[in-house]
């Protein structure tokens, strides 16, 4: 477990490199951001949940002063924290979500160490130099992330029963599905952020046994969307 509290899982891409880092952030409703980051090569795992507040054991119905957030694990040798930040700010407008539902929807970004806060400052400075107004994003030290209920995890993927049925062959438990790199990519596909060809091409670059890789590609191609 790293400083963020993100549990290491047996995700497919976690075997590619050992340089796994974590980021926790909020962009309003957490369903779309999970799909957005989940489709990115280099992102190993995604989860949605609650963070930023003081209430104990928040739930969707009783969130208290927490915000809807996502937590991602990513391979920094494939996608950098700086690139994660650019995707974050390029894909939401804090003015549109802040205070819309109190603290439930917030533009919020957490840092785990001095290196992350320095990267955040550097990206903000670069963006302002290029004429982008500084966003009204809350930036805070990471404290704790509370995973949301299962029904919110991989929300768009779960709208396709055939996909869920076929994926159950590989991931018999909800925990295994949530931590799956493949499920993260397919959640991005279900939302329209990527396509099947890109996912197949990426799977063929994963360091998997040849027979496992072949069966995974065949499974993905058999899904009816």
Do residue 111 and residue 30 come from a single domain?
yes
Residue 151: how many other CB atoms lie within 10 Å: 10
Percentage of the chain exceeding pLDDT 70: 92
* Active-site annotation, residues: 29
Do residue 211 and residue 125 come from a single domain?
no
pLDDT of residue 101: 87
**For residue 14, pLDDT beyond 70:** no
Do residue 85 and residue 182 come from a single domain?
no
Asked whether residue 3 is domain-assigned, the answer is no
Could you report the per-residue pLDDT of 167-190, keeping only the tens digit for each?
998 999 999 999 999 999 999 999
Domain with 44 in it: what CATH number? 3.30.1060.10
Tell how far CA 59 is from the center of its chain.
19
Cα separations in angstroms, 209 against 8, 175, 200, 206? 21, 23, 15, 9
Asked whether residue 4 is domain-assigned, the answer is no
Distance from C-alpha of 11 to C-alpha of 45, rounded to nearest angstrom:
7
Asked whether residue 87 is domain-assigned, the answer is yes
Asked whether residue 114 is domain-assigned, the answer is yes
Which domain covers residue 103, as residue numbers?
12-150
Query: 150, 173, 201 — which closes off a domain?
Result: 150
Q: What's the structural domain count of the chain?
A: 2
Do residue 90 and residue 162 come from a single domain?
no
pTM of the model: 0.92
């Amino acid at each position: 477990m790293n400083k963020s509290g993100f549990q290491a899982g047996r995700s497919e891409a976690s075997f590619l490199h050992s340089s796994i880092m974590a980021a926790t952030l909020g962009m309003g409703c957490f369903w779309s951001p999970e799909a957005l980051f989940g489709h990115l090569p280099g992102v190993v795992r995604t989860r949605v949940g609650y963070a930023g507040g003081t209430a104990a054991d928040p739930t969707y119905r009783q969130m208290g002063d927490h915000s809807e957030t996502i937590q991602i694990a990513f391979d920094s040798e494939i996608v950098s924290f700086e690139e994660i930040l650019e995707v974050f700010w390029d894909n939401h407008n804090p003015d549109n979500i802040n205070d819309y539902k109190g603290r439930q929807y917030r533009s919020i970004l957490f840092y785990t160490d001095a290196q992350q806060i320095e990267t955040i400052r550097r990206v903000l400075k670069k963006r302002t130099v290029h004429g982008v107004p500084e966003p009204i994003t809350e930036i805070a030290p990471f404290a704790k992330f509370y995973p949301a209920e299962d029904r919110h995890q991989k929300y768009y993927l779960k709208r396709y029963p055939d996909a869920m049925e076929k994926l159950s062959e590989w991931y018999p438990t909800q925990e295994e599905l949530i931590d799956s790199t493949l499920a993260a990519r397919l959640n991005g596909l279900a939302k329209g952020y990527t396509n099947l060809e890109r996912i197949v091409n990426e799977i063929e670059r994963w360091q998997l046994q040849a027979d496992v890789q072949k069966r995974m590609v065949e499974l993905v191609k058999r899904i009816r969307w």
